[in-house]
Amino acid sequence: AQTPVKVTVTGAAGQIGYALLFRIASGQLLGADVPVKLSLLEIPQAVKAAAGTAMELDDCAFPLLSGIEVTDDANKAFDGTSVALLVGARPRTAGMERGDLLQANGGIFGPQGKAINDNAADDIRVLVVGNPANTNALIAQQHAPDVPAERFTAMTRLDHNRALSQLAAKLQVPVSEVRKMTIWGNHSATQYPDLFHAEVGGKIAAEQVDDAWLRDTFIPTVAKRGAAIIEARGASSAASAANAAIDHVYDWVNGTEWTSAAIPSDGSYGVPEGLISSFPVASRDGKWEIIQGLEIDAFSRERIDASVRELEEERAAVRELGLI
């Protein structure tokens, strides 16, 4: 039998954690033939609640789940881990300035990056979900100098999936008919969902919708969907976020021809090297590759640049604060 793969989830007692853990344990993260060991990392006050979730995981009697640990010790949680899903983060509260938010998250993602550096398995892959996800991923990466930089990624797959769903509904086609969707930039309101490379029925999506819908409905609906979910549900998106995390890691490990992920830039498409920015990506042999050679028109250029500028500002701010 295969040796179990250790998967660590931070913020395990939170909303996304609750929607995520059962799917990992059932085999959806890595594949239906890969046994997993789960490590649940929480802050001390939430360890008891995470242990309660662990009891429910036990009660599912998942054949692929070979063990569960619950801890508030990052060194233990990341010891020997191959997949780290960094979900726990400090949310922005009323009146909080960006500097305070980055500072608080630096206090989480810096030490977690170091604990990954010192303890994780050689094949470690990191997905940051906790916001501000791209910059939190950069902070963790910068505290893990022994881990290849490209193993640190941030999640824009939920935005990607939202874009697929909105476009499919508009054109009244199944989502499976939409190809080559791309989210560019930051996982924030400045993100740019791109219909100029997306295809439906082999034809460019942007040519099948009117310009006003693309500009005034599609882009803001995708970018502001998180707020719309909070407004409707009275709670933030959790199941769809967990689903996107599963999609991201599954495709990273098992391969895909085209999706969106925030990965360290190599300078492609004018995105400064090192920024963890969303790109159109493929995954081959367990590695993300930025899809090259796309023509970027003025409309797209302006929007990509605006989102990348925000990432640069966040990077400058965390440098200024001494967090990287």
Interface residues toward ligand NAI, by CB under 6 A:
10-11, 13-17, 41-43, 46, 87-89, 91, 108, 129-131, 133, 155, 158, 187, 236-238, 241
**Burial profile 180-214: b = 16 or more Cβ within 10 angstroms, e = fewer:** bbbbbbbbbebbbbbbbbbbbeeeebbebbeeeeb
Q: How far is the CB of 172 from ligand NAI (least distance, A)?
A: 26
The CB-nearest residue to ligand NAI is 14
Contact 24, 38 (CB under 8 A): yes
Q: Over 160-197, what HEC string results?
A: HHHHHHHHHHHHCCCHHHEECCEEEECCCCCCEEECCC
Residue 65, class by beta-carbon neighbours within 10 Å (0-12 exposed, 13-18 middle, 19+ buried)? buried
Specify the residue, 119 or 208, whose C-beta has the smaller distance to ligand NAI: 119
Q: How far is the CB of 134 from ligand NAI (least distance, A)?
A: 9
| Virtual torsion, Cα 222, 228, 233, 236, nearest 10 deg | 70
Specify the residue, 115 or 147, whose C-beta has the smaller distance to ligand NAI: 115
Specify the residue, 23 or 173, whose C-beta has the smaller distance to ligand NAI: 23
Specify the residue, 206 or 225, whose C-beta has the smaller distance to ligand NAI: 225
Q: How far is the CB of 42 from ligand NAI (least distance, A)?
A: 5
In DSSP terms, which residues pair with 182 in a beta bridge? 194
Q: How far is the CB of 114 from ligand NAI (least distance, A)?
A: 13
Structure tokens belonging to residue 64? 């692929």
Q: How far is the CB of 183 from ligand NAI (least distance, A)?
A: 10
Active site residue 143: no
Q: How far is the CB of 23 from ligand NAI (least distance, A)?
A: 14
Specify the residue, 38 or 206, whose C-beta has the smaller distance to ligand NAI: 38
Of the listed 143, 187, 197, 248, which one is catalytic? 187
Q: How far is residue 39's CA from residue 49's CA, in Å, rounded to a whole number?
A: 14
Specify the residue, 17 or 193, whose C-beta has the smaller distance to ligand NAI: 17
Q: How many CB atoms lie within 10 A of CB 82?
A: 19
Question: DSSP alpha helices (H): ranges in the chain?
Answer: 15-25, 47-59, 74-77, 98-119, 133-142, 157-171, 211-212, 219-223, 225-233, 239-254, 298-320
Question: DSSP alpha helices (H): ranges in 38-132?
Answer: 47-59, 74-77, 98-119
Tell me which residues are annotated as active site.
Answer: 187
